[in-house]
Structure 1
Amino acid sequence: MPQVSDGPSPGVSADALASICSPDRLETVFGTMDFFDGMPLSDTVTRSYDALDLLRGIEVFLNCVPGASMVAMRRGLRDIGIDSRTIGCLAPRCSSAPLVLTANTETAYGMTCLALAQDGPTVIEAPENSLCFVNDLWQRHVTDMGIAGPDRGEGGKYLFLPPGHDGEVPEGYFVVRPPTFSSWVLLRALSGTEGLLQSRIYPLSAAADPPEQRFVDFAESDFNTIHANDFSFFEEIDTLVQEEPPEALDPERAGQLAAIGIVPGTPFRPDDRMRSILDTAARIASGIVRTLCFKPRDPGFYVYPGSSWKNPWPSHNHEFLSPEGARLLDARALYHYFAAGTSPAMAAAAVGAGSQYAYTAEDSTGALLDGGRHYTLTLPSGIPVKNFWAVTAYDPQTRSLLRTDDPYPSVNSLSDAVRTEDDGDTIVHFGPTAPEGREGNWIRTVPGKGWFVVLRLYGPLESWFDKSWRPGEIEPA
């Protein structure tokens, strides 16, 4: 048998003991915390729970931005008469009147929100030669339709079944089962408004004789689709939680929400203390996520070393997963705070297909862009696009198109007014007044107001991906 030693125990060192014990007083960012032999005194109990509720509120905001954004999108569409059987459209393109996260001024969009709880199984007829996708109400990718979908751009009928549907499923459809009753539908027809108007949406029960499709043009409508940055953010999330199946939400976010009183089937009625804490949490979190958007610290967001141009998908994954499978929480919060909708075709486009994006709010010196100053952006010759490119200015407060006297704050290759330099470069000008002779290359800005810019490449070519072509920095004039 093995020998068992009865030698002396090494004991617990003073340093080890200190590392597992609590001092009688801690000075923290939340104030002083006092203890009696490790046990919290009454003021510390109050301060601890105030701190915990604040932290939970901040985490809920950062992790639930995608859901609040979809609730606000649906509410905004409903405000202008776009219900689940109506398609909102841009005929032919969006102006700066609607508050829609980083909408562009070049594409003919259509959108609506499904209501499977009311309408039951619902059919969408996607137009030919289109790039369409559907996200659930937590803004997770459900399906692509059109070129990136199973119909391969030939047009097709998609049948969306409510969560838990166990009835008979007819043939002749691409069948989709979203985890939420409501989903956001984005329709993009490459043939423009004429193609978009071929879209159809109707209940399966009306498939034998579909009603005439109703469209609402919202291109110049002044309405809001953007979520709140105060206490009402949490009311937006509660709306989602109460309407959708509990199993549509992952356990981690469900636990965070439950910790602040948002639980399926239970009224959300925070007392004055909790309401004040959550209002503060939303305001702090909105400041944090704005920092993530405009000054990210992860090098993966930057397209080029030493450049201010940023890519909203650092891992090129529409689910914001790292190569190791970890959720990139900052990337998810960043993206959904200033954009709407995710699809694999957006995050990881193939050469000559889909689209690629880069954005910045800084000039070449690192200073934030100022609407009272003049700047230039040089796009070197050989801009790597199969289809077209666009440079568009946005309001950093609303993350929507910058509102000026020009309702289309963009310079793009679809415009005949854009001039190219003798060497093939294209110079985009920004400022409160137009440079003489370059009006077609100018985006108006507003003195006293900041702005940021998004570069879009539709059908990006190899020189974008291998970085042999790169845009210049925004230079103060």
Structure 2
Amino acid sequence: MVETPEELVELAADAYVYGYPLVFDLSMVDAFLRKGFGALPPAPFNRFAHSGELAEPDAHFVSVNNDTVYSIAQLDLSGGPLTLHVPETGGAYYVLQFVDVWSNNFAYLGRRATGTGEGDWLIAPPGWSGTVPDGLSGVIDAPTSIVTVVGRNACDGPDDLPRVQALQRQFALSHLDSAPHRTGLPAPDGGVPEALGFFERLRVWMADFPPSAEDQAYQDRFQPLGLLEEGPSPYLPAGPDLVQALTQGMKRGKARVEAATRPAPEADRAAPGAWDANPHLFDYNLDHLSVGTIDSPEWKIPDREASYLVRAVAARTGLWGNHGYEAVYAQTFQDSAGRQLNGAHSYVLRFDERPPVTSFWSVTMYDVPDYYLVENPAGRYSIGDRTPGLVYAADGSLTLHLSKDRPADPDAAANWLPAPDGDFRPMLRLYTPEQAVLDGSYVIPVIERVETDGG
């Protein structure tokens, strides 16, 4: 029982951490329905929007990748199931990732999960018990009535776009029946002050999109905050004590999430500048795993309450990212001496051995603190094993050059990843990683600063 103002603040901080993924996810769903993302045009529910190009800085989406061409559909299953057609890709890498509104990855279709053959799938809403039509490849059970499908088709550059675009045109969604579907998200009360807007959205969306029974038991703790009240918003007449608790709790919760996104203290890392490669960042889905997922203990966080902070960090730094067995994302903020990476300096990243992956790998440049792609005159936002013209050394090693300015040496320029003026964070993506990545025996080399006469 909450008895003191400090306990109420702490409860609000817990609610922020718990609810941030839901609020952020549905805010992105709403933005997509209305505005799209960068090269992805807006699309209504139950229709794919396809990008005609690789992502660029105007995408303004946290840690967006520049390796694949995106196709995104926001599904509304309130009127019943949908059917999804996927084409034959001829062995080429693709993945369709299914994410519920709590940011849980609950199903995958694609080369790793189900192969690259043509097929038709039923996507069923929570609690559906209808008849499955004959001839389907399988059924994907959704835990929430709104679902985001994130499609990624590997693209080897502009010359490969026609092949990818031909595949995109074959991904198709259709209604199993003619029941009505919603046209937008449940609307929070617009009269609530912006300072309490987060909690109002959380209140409304928690009620419309209930989590698993186990999570429901945890969120019942938030009753003193008004988050379980239905009908008119409790935040219109909120008293000063509740307003203070909510605003201070949100500030504390935000700080908790931001602190958890930063690298571990130097003493806790294997070496200065070590990459944070966590194959288990997206293991917070503990309750509802469908087609293409691995439902086993090593891919589930054992402590449910601890999983809420992990989930918030994953949403903050890489919303709609994949489980580690589909792709591993490694990031670093520092060089080999533990100094913050910054465009005022030049750096090298040397791979003595190529990263162990089944599909492909890349390094993408992001700014800090937004984690957006970095505008640069070369129009290069990532570099990897599919980048044309890379120069390897005679011993097979590969040295990448990270700097604001293009290197003067032609070989270095071929291996150049442009950096911004200020602080930056590169991300190494490993698609369908091998076991050495997953068990940590593969160590990503640290980034070295190139010293000059000017320091």
TM-score over 0.5 for the alignment? yes
State the partner residue of 1:56: 11
Q: 1: distance between equivalents of 2:371 and 2:234?
A: 31
Q: Cα distance, 1:393 vs. partner?
A: 1.4
Q: Cα distance, 1:307 vs. partner?
A: 5.4
TM-score normalized by structure 1?
0.74
Over 3 Å counting, the alpha-carbon distance change for 1:148 and 1:268 in structure 2 is farther
| Matches for 1:297-376 after TM superposition, within 5 Å | 308-314=274-280, 317=283, 319=285, 325-327=302-304, 328-329=306-307, 330-341=309-320, 343=322, 346-347=323-324, 349=325, 354-376=326-348
Question: Does 2:206 align with 1:241?
Answer: yes
- Name the SS of the counterpart of 1:108 in structure 2: strand
Over 3 Å counting, the alpha-carbon distance change for 1:425 and 1:234 in structure 2 is farther
Contact 1:131–1:145 under 8 Å retained in 2: yes
Q: Cα distance, 1:305 vs. partner?
A: 5.8
Contact 1:231–1:282 under 8 Å retained in 2: no
Question: Does 2:260 align with 1:292?
Answer: yes
State the partner residue of 1:470: 443
TM-score normalized by structure 2?
0.77
Q: Cα distance, 1:475 vs. partner?
A: 1.6
State the partner residue of 1:161: 124
Q: Cα distance, 1:309 vs. partner?
A: 0.9
Contact 1:124–1:157 under 8 Å retained in 2: yes
Over 3 Å counting, the alpha-carbon distance change for 1:375 and 1:256 in structure 2 is farther
Q: 2: distance between equivalents of 1:249 and 1:400?
A: 35
Q: Cα distance, 1:342 vs. partner?
A: 5.5
Q: What are the superposed Cα offsets for residues 115-157 of structure 1, whole Å, 9 maximum, x if unpaired?
A: 112x4321122333432121211122332223344x5332322
State the partner residue of 1:194: 166
Contact 1:187–1:196 under 8 Å retained in 2: no
State the partner residue of 2:184: none
Q: Cα distance, 1:260 vs. partner?
A: 1.6
Q: 2: distance between equivalents of 1:382 and 1:135?
A: 31
State the partner residue of 2:160: none
Q: What are the superposed Cα offsets for residues 398-434 of structure 1, whole Å, 9 maximum, x if unpaired?
A: 2332344455421222221332233322222222212
| Matches for 1:95-174 after TM superposition, within 5 Å | 95-117=56-78, 119-129=79-89, 130-149=94-113, 151-173=114-136, 174=138
Equivalent AA in structure 2 for residue 460 of structure 1: P
Contact 2:401–2:416 under 8 Å retained in 1: yes
State the partner residue of 1:181: 145
Contact 2:272–2:336 under 8 Å retained in 1: no
Contact 1:314–1:331 under 8 Å retained in 2: no
- Name the SS of the counterpart of 2:85 in structure 1: strand
Q: 1: distance between equivalents of 2:400 and 2:231?
A: 54
State the partner residue of 1:423: 395
State the partner residue of 2:44: 83
Q: Cα RMSD between the aligned structures?
A: 3.2
Q: 1: distance between equivalents of 2:118 and 2:214?
A: 32
Q: 2: distance between equivalents of 1:167 and 1:311?
A: 42
How many pairs are equivalent? 398
Q: Cα distance, 1:373 vs. partner?
A: 2.3
Q: Cα distance, 1:462 vs. partner?
A: 5.3
| Matches for 1:379-398 after TM superposition, within 5 Å | 379-398=351-370
Equivalent AA in structure 1 for residue 206 of structure 2: V
Contact 1:54–1:277 under 8 Å retained in 2: yes
Contact 1:378–1:471 under 8 Å retained in 2: no
Q: Cα distance, 1:361 vs. partner?
A: 1.0
Equivalent AA in structure 1 for residue 151 of structure 2: L
Contact 1:139–1:342 under 8 Å retained in 2: no
Over 3 Å counting, the alpha-carbon distance change for 1:256 and 1:361 in structure 2 is farther
Question: Does 2:417 align with 1:443?
Answer: yes
Contact 2:107–2:140 under 8 Å retained in 1: yes
Equivalent AA in structure 2 for residue 311 of structure 1: A
Q: What are the superposed Cα offsets for residues 220-265 of structure 1, whole Å, 9 maximum, x if unpaired?
A: xxxxxxxxx9743333323422432476772244224433212263
Equivalent AA in structure 2 for residue 90 of structure 1: S
| Percent identity of paired positions between Structure 1 and Structure 2 | 21
Q: 2: distance between equivalents of 1:318 and 1:189?
A: 25
Larger Rg: 1
Contact 2:96–2:152 under 8 Å retained in 1: yes
- Name the SS of the counterpart of 1:205 in structure 2: coil
| Matches for 1:197-276 after TM superposition, within 5 Å | 197-205=169-177, 231-245=196-210, 250-263=215-228, 265-270=230-235, 271=238, 273=240, 274-276=242-244
Q: 1: distance between equivalents of 2:347 and 2:197?
A: 38
Question: Does 2:26 align with 1:71?
Answer: yes
Contact 2:281–2:311 under 8 Å retained in 1: no
Q: Cα distance, 1:268 vs. partner?
A: 3.2
Q: What are the superposed Cα offsets for residues 341-373 of structure 1, whole Å, 9 maximum, x if unpaired?
A: 365xx32x2xxxx43221111111212222322
Contact 1:140–1:342 under 8 Å retained in 2: no
Q: 1: distance between equivalents of 2:205 and 2:103?
A: 12
